[in-house]
Amino acid sequence: MSIREQMRKGTTTVILLNLLAEAGRPMYGYEIIQELEARSQGYFQFKEGLIYPRLHELERQGLLRAEWHGKEGTRRRKFYTITEAGRRRREKELQGWQNFARHINELLGVESGS
């Protein structure tokens, strides 16, 4: 597995929470994936089907709230919104990520932001 893949897997939770926090509106699975790929400018290729188990885990942990929109017989979609618990988790994860990145950069002798 490439470093890129490993990093993506380890950070999917914070990436999803961050996206939904910044979006400030409910988003559905396909829309989330498209937005993530656009933001990473194609650097991260998400295996789309594997986003759903992660979304469901976050939902059951109370970090996301999901609601179905649309009536029976028409297109129905499950929209995800970040909860207050999700926002707190995002802050914690972002802080952890920044510390991690800083220490790795120091170990590798790479200047942050370069």
Partner 1 sequence: MNEGPARLEMPIDRLLAGIRTQMDLDGETEQEVMAEIRDHLEEAFAEAQARGLDDERAWAQAAARFGLGDEVGRALHQAHAGWGTADAVIAAALPVVCALVLRWLAFAPDGTALGWPQLLSRPAFWVVALVALLLPVLKFERWRCALAAWAFFWMLTVLFVALPAMRW
71 binds partner 1 (CB under 8 A): no
Residue 37 or 93: the one with the smaller Cβ distance to partner 1 is 37
39 binds partner 1 (CB under 8 A): no
Q: Choose among 50, 21, 14, 11: nearest CA to 33.
A: 50
Q: Which amino acid is at 45?
A: Q
Choose the binding region for partner 1 from 12-20, 50-58, 96-104, 106-114 (rule: CB under 8 A): 50-58
Q: Find the binder of partner 1 among 7, 50, 101, 110 (CB under 8 A).
A: 50
DSSP E strands, 3-109: 27-28, 64-69, 77-82
CA distance 16 to 19: 5
The number of residues that bind partner 1 (CB under 8 A) is 20
Q: Find the binder of partner 1 among 9, 52, 98, 100 (CB under 8 A).
A: 52
Residue 33, Cα to own-chain centre: how many angstroms? 9
